[in-house]
Amino acid sequence: MDVQQSSSYCESRTRWKFRELETFPESIAEPSKRIMGEHMFQTEAHAELYSEFRPAPPVELLKIVVSVCRNTDKLLDVGCGTGQSTEPMTEFFGHVIGTDNSEAQIAQAKRRQNEADLRNLEYRVCSSNELTFEGSSFDAITACQCVHYFDLDKFYAEAHRVLRKDGILALSGYCIPVPSVGDPEMDAAIKERIMKLCRVELGPYFEVDIDYFDRCYETLPAPKSGFELVEKNLKIIKEWPTNLHVYLSYLKSWSPYVHFRKDHPENDIMASLRSDLRAICQGVFQQKGDSDCKVEVDTRYFVHIFRKVD
Protein backbone atom coordinates (compact mmCIF):
# COMPACT_ATOMS: atom_id res chain seq x y z
CA MET A 1 0.00 0.00 0.00
CA ASP A 2 1.12 3.52 -0.63
CA VAL A 3 1.81 4.95 2.81
CA GLN A 4 3.86 7.65 1.10
CA GLN A 5 1.00 8.75 -1.06
CA SER A 6 -1.37 8.47 1.89
CA SER A 7 0.70 10.72 4.13
CA SER A 8 0.94 13.41 1.52
CA TYR A 9 -2.81 13.23 1.05
CA CYS A 10 -3.17 13.66 4.82
CA GLU A 11 -0.82 16.62 4.76
CA SER A 12 -2.76 18.31 2.00
CA ARG A 13 -5.99 17.62 3.89
CA THR A 14 -4.38 19.18 6.94
CA ARG A 15 -3.35 22.30 5.04
CA TRP A 16 -6.84 22.54 3.65
CA LYS A 17 -8.28 22.08 7.13
CA PHE A 18 -6.20 24.93 8.51
CA ARG A 19 -7.56 27.17 5.78
CA GLU A 20 -11.02 26.13 6.90
CA LEU A 21 -10.11 26.85 10.50
CA GLU A 22 -9.05 30.34 9.51
CA THR A 23 -12.49 30.82 8.02
CA PHE A 24 -14.24 29.36 11.05
CA PRO A 25 -11.88 30.10 13.95
CA GLU A 26 -14.47 29.77 16.68
CA SER A 27 -15.39 26.25 15.65
CA ILE A 28 -13.57 23.65 17.74
CA ALA A 29 -12.06 26.09 20.20
CA GLU A 30 -14.99 25.65 22.54
CA PRO A 31 -15.69 21.98 23.17
CA SER A 32 -18.20 22.94 25.85
CA LYS A 33 -20.89 20.45 24.83
CA ARG A 34 -18.73 17.37 24.55
CA ILE A 35 -20.41 14.25 25.76
CA MET A 36 -18.63 11.02 26.62
CA GLY A 37 -19.20 7.67 24.95
CA GLU A 38 -21.67 6.17 27.38
CA HIS A 39 -24.27 8.90 26.72
CA MET A 40 -24.36 8.55 22.98
CA PHE A 41 -26.36 6.39 20.58
CA GLN A 42 -28.75 5.49 23.40
CA THR A 43 -32.24 5.98 22.01
CA GLU A 44 -34.21 3.56 19.89
CA ALA A 45 -34.93 6.28 17.31
CA HIS A 46 -31.25 7.08 16.97
CA ALA A 47 -30.32 3.40 16.61
CA GLU A 48 -33.00 2.95 13.90
CA LEU A 49 -31.63 5.89 11.93
CA TYR A 50 -28.12 4.57 12.45
CA SER A 51 -29.04 1.13 11.20
CA GLU A 52 -30.70 2.44 8.08
CA PHE A 53 -28.30 5.12 6.95
CA ARG A 54 -24.77 4.32 8.14
CA PRO A 55 -22.45 2.80 5.54
CA ALA A 56 -20.57 -0.48 5.98
CA PRO A 57 -16.78 -0.38 5.67
CA PRO A 58 -15.37 -1.24 2.23
CA VAL A 59 -14.60 -4.91 1.64
CA GLU A 60 -11.04 -3.94 0.68
CA LEU A 61 -10.47 -2.75 4.26
CA LEU A 62 -11.86 -5.95 5.76
CA LYS A 63 -9.65 -8.02 3.47
CA ILE A 64 -6.55 -6.10 4.59
CA VAL A 65 -7.41 -6.98 8.19
CA VAL A 66 -8.03 -10.63 7.35
CA SER A 67 -4.79 -10.84 5.37
CA VAL A 68 -2.65 -10.19 8.46
CA CYS A 69 -4.54 -12.59 10.76
CA ARG A 70 -2.72 -15.85 11.53
CA ASN A 71 -6.02 -17.49 12.50
CA THR A 72 -9.59 -16.64 11.60
CA ASP A 73 -11.47 -18.67 14.18
CA LYS A 74 -12.92 -15.92 16.38
CA LEU A 75 -13.34 -12.16 15.94
CA LEU A 76 -14.53 -9.49 18.37
CA ASP A 77 -15.90 -6.22 16.92
CA VAL A 78 -15.93 -3.63 19.71
CA GLY A 79 -18.19 -0.56 19.39
CA CYS A 80 -20.09 -2.50 16.74
CA GLY A 81 -23.09 -0.14 16.64
CA THR A 82 -25.91 -1.72 14.65
CA GLY A 83 -23.60 -4.23 13.01
CA GLN A 84 -22.42 -2.56 9.79
CA SER A 85 -18.79 -3.38 10.59
CA THR A 86 -19.60 -6.74 12.19
CA GLU A 87 -21.88 -8.53 9.73
CA PRO A 88 -19.45 -8.62 6.75
CA MET A 89 -16.80 -10.24 8.95
CA THR A 90 -18.97 -13.35 9.31
CA GLU A 91 -17.76 -14.30 5.82
CA PHE A 92 -14.16 -14.35 6.93
CA PHE A 93 -14.27 -15.67 10.52
CA GLY A 94 -15.67 -18.85 11.99
CA HIS A 95 -17.42 -16.96 14.79
CA VAL A 96 -17.95 -13.23 15.25
CA ILE A 97 -19.06 -11.33 18.36
CA GLY A 98 -20.11 -7.68 18.29
CA THR A 99 -20.16 -5.59 21.47
CA ASP A 100 -21.37 -2.07 22.16
CA ASN A 101 -22.20 -0.15 25.32
CA SER A 102 -25.54 1.03 23.88
CA GLU A 103 -28.47 -1.33 24.44
CA ALA A 104 -30.41 0.42 21.66
CA GLN A 105 -27.61 -0.18 19.12
CA ILE A 106 -27.29 -3.84 20.12
CA ALA A 107 -31.08 -4.32 19.86
CA GLN A 108 -30.97 -3.01 16.28
CA ALA A 109 -27.93 -5.17 15.50
CA LYS A 110 -29.80 -8.27 16.71
CA ARG A 111 -32.84 -7.34 14.62
CA ARG A 112 -30.65 -7.10 11.52
CA GLN A 113 -28.96 -10.38 12.39
CA ASN A 114 -32.29 -12.17 12.60
CA GLU A 115 -33.41 -10.71 9.28
CA ALA A 116 -30.20 -11.84 7.56
CA ASP A 117 -30.19 -15.16 9.45
CA LEU A 118 -26.50 -14.88 10.30
CA ARG A 119 -25.75 -17.85 12.54
CA ASN A 120 -22.05 -17.46 13.31
CA LEU A 121 -22.70 -14.08 14.91
CA GLU A 122 -23.68 -12.92 18.38
CA TYR A 123 -24.04 -9.58 20.10
CA ARG A 124 -23.50 -8.44 23.64
CA VAL A 125 -23.88 -5.14 25.51
CA CYS A 126 -20.50 -4.37 27.02
CA SER A 127 -18.15 -1.45 27.47
CA SER A 128 -14.73 -1.20 25.85
CA ASN A 129 -13.41 -0.60 29.37
CA GLU A 130 -14.30 -4.10 30.47
CA LEU A 131 -14.60 -6.78 27.81
CA THR A 132 -16.61 -9.54 29.42
CA PHE A 133 -14.65 -12.44 27.93
CA GLU A 134 -11.99 -14.80 29.20
CA GLY A 135 -8.36 -14.09 28.43
CA SER A 136 -6.93 -15.33 25.10
CA SER A 137 -10.37 -15.72 23.47
CA PHE A 138 -9.98 -13.99 20.08
CA ASP A 139 -7.76 -14.10 17.00
CA ALA A 140 -8.65 -10.54 16.11
CA ILE A 141 -10.38 -7.44 17.45
CA THR A 142 -11.79 -4.74 15.20
CA ALA A 143 -13.07 -1.30 16.19
CA CYS A 144 -14.53 0.76 13.34
CA GLN A 145 -15.21 4.49 13.70
CA CYS A 146 -15.49 4.24 17.48
CA VAL A 147 -12.11 3.91 19.21
CA HIS A 148 -11.89 7.72 19.44
CA TYR A 149 -14.68 7.52 22.04
CA PHE A 150 -12.93 4.95 24.21
CA ASP A 151 -10.74 5.26 27.28
CA LEU A 152 -7.76 4.07 25.27
CA ASP A 153 -5.54 2.84 28.11
CA LYS A 154 -8.35 0.66 29.46
CA PHE A 155 -9.35 -0.58 26.03
CA TYR A 156 -5.80 -1.46 24.95
CA ALA A 157 -5.23 -3.36 28.21
CA GLU A 158 -8.47 -5.29 27.75
CA ALA A 159 -7.75 -5.95 24.05
CA HIS A 160 -4.35 -7.35 24.97
CA ARG A 161 -5.91 -9.59 27.63
CA VAL A 162 -8.64 -11.12 25.44
CA LEU A 163 -6.50 -11.56 22.32
CA ARG A 164 -4.78 -14.87 21.68
CA LYS A 165 -1.06 -15.09 20.97
CA ASP A 166 -0.21 -13.08 17.82
CA GLY A 167 -3.78 -11.71 17.77
CA ILE A 168 -4.66 -8.66 15.68
CA LEU A 169 -6.09 -5.31 16.80
CA ALA A 170 -7.45 -3.27 13.86
CA LEU A 171 -8.52 0.33 14.44
CA SER A 172 -10.34 1.84 11.49
CA GLY A 173 -12.40 4.88 10.67
CA TYR A 174 -13.27 7.33 7.92
CA CYS A 175 -12.91 11.01 7.10
CA ILE A 176 -16.01 13.19 7.09
CA PRO A 177 -17.88 12.26 3.92
CA VAL A 178 -18.56 15.21 1.59
CA PRO A 179 -20.88 14.84 -1.41
CA SER A 180 -19.92 15.79 -4.94
CA VAL A 181 -22.04 16.53 -7.99
CA GLY A 182 -19.11 16.55 -10.42
CA ASP A 183 -18.92 20.33 -10.92
CA PRO A 184 -15.75 21.84 -9.36
CA GLU A 185 -17.35 25.13 -8.32
CA MET A 186 -20.42 23.50 -6.82
CA ASP A 187 -18.27 20.85 -5.14
CA ALA A 188 -16.09 23.52 -3.49
CA ALA A 189 -19.19 25.31 -2.21
CA ILE A 190 -20.68 22.04 -0.93
CA LYS A 191 -17.46 21.25 0.93
CA GLU A 192 -17.40 24.68 2.53
CA ARG A 193 -21.01 24.31 3.64
CA ILE A 194 -20.39 20.85 5.14
CA MET A 195 -17.34 22.17 6.98
CA LYS A 196 -19.48 24.97 8.40
CA LEU A 197 -21.88 22.31 9.67
CA CYS A 198 -19.06 20.32 11.30
CA ARG A 199 -16.90 23.06 12.66
CA VAL A 200 -19.31 25.87 13.46
CA GLU A 201 -22.87 24.64 13.83
CA LEU A 202 -22.10 21.25 15.38
CA GLY A 203 -18.49 22.00 16.38
CA PRO A 204 -19.08 22.18 20.14
CA TYR A 205 -21.22 19.03 20.01
CA PHE A 206 -18.54 16.80 18.50
CA GLU A 207 -17.53 14.47 21.32
CA VAL A 208 -14.01 14.23 19.97
CA ASP A 209 -11.65 16.38 18.01
CA ILE A 210 -12.47 16.23 14.29
CA ASP A 211 -8.68 16.11 13.81
CA TYR A 212 -8.78 12.41 14.57
CA PHE A 213 -10.76 11.77 11.39
CA ASP A 214 -9.14 14.48 9.29
CA ARG A 215 -5.72 13.07 10.08
CA CYS A 216 -6.77 9.47 9.60
CA TYR A 217 -6.12 8.57 13.29
CA GLU A 218 -2.47 9.57 12.89
CA THR A 219 -2.91 11.70 16.04
CA LEU A 220 -4.74 9.00 18.02
CA PRO A 221 -2.47 7.56 20.74
CA ALA A 222 -1.35 4.05 19.73
CA PRO A 223 -0.93 1.24 22.29
CA LYS A 224 2.17 2.03 24.36
CA SER A 225 3.19 -1.57 24.89
CA GLY A 226 2.13 -5.14 24.17
CA PHE A 227 1.48 -4.48 20.47
CA GLU A 228 3.50 -3.80 17.33
CA LEU A 229 2.23 -1.99 14.25
CA VAL A 230 1.99 -4.43 11.35
CA GLU A 231 0.02 -2.55 8.69
CA LYS A 232 -1.28 0.94 8.09
CA ASN A 233 -3.39 2.01 5.15
CA LEU A 234 -4.66 5.57 5.16
CA LYS A 235 -6.38 5.70 1.84
CA ILE A 236 -9.06 3.14 1.15
CA ILE A 237 -11.79 4.77 -0.86
CA LYS A 238 -15.32 3.51 -0.56
CA GLU A 239 -17.38 4.53 -3.56
CA TRP A 240 -20.77 5.63 -2.30
CA PRO A 241 -23.12 6.73 -5.07
CA THR A 242 -26.27 7.92 -3.35
CA ASN A 243 -28.75 10.79 -3.23
CA LEU A 244 -29.43 13.92 -1.21
CA HIS A 245 -32.11 12.28 0.94
CA VAL A 246 -29.80 9.45 2.05
CA TYR A 247 -26.88 11.81 2.65
CA LEU A 248 -28.96 14.14 4.85
CA SER A 249 -30.39 11.16 6.73
CA TYR A 250 -26.85 9.89 7.29
CA LEU A 251 -25.92 13.27 8.78
CA LYS A 252 -28.95 13.06 11.07
CA SER A 253 -27.51 9.83 12.49
CA TRP A 254 -24.48 11.74 13.81
CA SER A 255 -24.51 11.89 17.58
CA PRO A 256 -23.44 15.60 17.60
CA TYR A 257 -26.57 16.37 15.57
CA VAL A 258 -28.80 14.35 17.90
CA HIS A 259 -27.40 16.20 20.92
CA PHE A 260 -27.65 19.57 19.19
CA ARG A 261 -31.36 18.98 18.45
CA LYS A 262 -31.96 18.03 22.06
CA ASP A 263 -30.58 21.41 23.13
CA HIS A 264 -32.15 23.35 20.23
CA PRO A 265 -35.38 21.63 19.19
CA GLU A 266 -36.46 24.86 17.47
CA ASN A 267 -33.37 25.09 15.27
CA ASP A 268 -33.68 22.71 12.34
CA ILE A 269 -30.14 23.04 11.01
CA MET A 270 -30.62 20.11 8.62
CA ALA A 271 -33.47 21.98 6.90
CA SER A 272 -31.14 24.98 6.43
CA LEU A 273 -28.38 22.70 5.17
CA ARG A 274 -30.77 21.05 2.75
CA SER A 275 -31.92 24.37 1.30
CA ASP A 276 -28.32 25.65 1.07
CA LEU A 277 -27.21 22.49 -0.76
CA ARG A 278 -30.19 22.69 -3.08
CA ALA A 279 -29.40 26.35 -3.80
CA ILE A 280 -25.70 25.56 -4.48
CA CYS A 281 -26.64 22.72 -6.85
CA GLN A 282 -29.72 24.33 -8.34
CA GLY A 283 -28.40 23.79 -11.90
CA VAL A 284 -28.02 20.05 -11.27
CA PHE A 285 -30.83 19.27 -8.83
CA GLN A 286 -33.42 21.53 -10.52
CA GLN A 287 -36.93 20.68 -9.32
CA LYS A 288 -36.19 17.04 -8.46
CA GLY A 289 -37.12 15.49 -5.13
CA ASP A 290 -34.23 14.81 -2.70
CA SER A 291 -34.21 11.09 -3.53
CA ASP A 292 -33.68 11.91 -7.22
CA CYS A 293 -30.81 14.33 -6.59
CA LYS A 294 -27.78 12.09 -7.25
CA VAL A 295 -24.56 12.71 -5.33
CA GLU A 296 -21.27 10.80 -5.07
CA VAL A 297 -20.19 10.52 -1.45
CA ASP A 298 -16.92 8.66 -2.01
CA THR A 299 -15.49 8.23 1.46
CA ARG A 300 -11.91 7.84 2.60
CA TYR A 301 -11.35 5.04 5.13
CA PHE A 302 -8.16 4.28 7.03
CA VAL A 303 -6.92 1.45 9.24
CA HIS A 304 -4.08 0.96 11.73
CA ILE A 305 -3.37 -2.70 12.49
CA PHE A 306 -1.38 -3.97 15.48
CA ARG A 307 -0.28 -7.45 16.46
CA LYS A 308 -0.16 -8.61 20.07
CA VAL A 309 3.41 -9.28 21.14
CA ASP A 310 4.82 -11.00 24.28
Ligand X SMILES: C[S@@+](CC[C@H](N)C(=O)[O-])C[C@H]1O[C@@H](n2cnc3c(N)ncnc32)[C@H](O)[C@@H]1O
Nearer to ligand X, 123 or 285 (CB): 123
Kindly state the smallest distance separating residue 54's Cβ from ligand X, in Å: 5
Choose one: 36-44, 212-220, 221-229, 295-303; the region binding ligand X (CB under 6 A). 36-44
In the range 50-79, which residues lie near ligand X by CB under 6 A?
A: 54, 79
Are β-strands 299-308 and 163-174 bridged in parallel, bridged antiparallel, or unpaired? Answer: antiparallel
Nearer to ligand X, 220 or 293 (CB): 220
Strands (E) located in the chain: 74-78, 95-100, 121-125, 138-144, 163-174, 227-238, 241-243, 294-296, 299-308
In the range 115-174, which residues lie near ligand X by CB under 6 A?
A: 127-128, 144-146, 149-150
Question: Of these, 6, 27, 51, 84, which contacts ligand X (CB under 6 A)?
Answer: 84
Kindly state the smallest distance separating residue 21's Cβ from ligand X, in Å: 23
Nearer to ligand X, 62 or 293 (CB): 62
Kindly state the smallest distance separating residue 279's Cβ from ligand X, in Å: 30
Beginning with the edge strand found earlier in the chain, give each strand of the sheet holding 95-100 in spatial order.
121-125, 95-100, 74-78, 138-144, 163-174, 299-308, 227-238
Q: How far is CA 65 from CA 33, 72, 178, 204, in A?
A: 35, 10, 26, 34
Asked if 96 contacts 81 with a C-beta cutoff of 8 angstroms, the reply is no
Asked if 151 contacts 78 with a C-beta cutoff of 8 angstroms, the reply is no
Question: Of these, 6, 27, 37, 205, which contacts ligand X (CB under 6 A)?
Answer: 37
Cα separation of 228 and 56, whole Å? 27
Number of residues that bind ligand X (CB under 6 A): 20
96 binds ligand X (CB under 6 A): no
Nearer to ligand X, 20 or 87 (CB): 87
Choose one: 21-29, 94-102, 115-123, 257-265; the region binding ligand X (CB under 6 A). 94-102
DSSP states along 272-307: HHHHHHHHHTHHHHTT--GGGSEEE--EEEEEEEEE
Kindly state the smallest distance separating residue 88's Cβ from ligand X, in Å: 10
Nearer to ligand X, 81 or 203 (CB): 81
In the complex, the residues that contact ligand X under the rule CB under 6 A are 37, 40-41, 54, 79-81, 84-85, 100-102, 105, 127-128, 144-146, 149-150
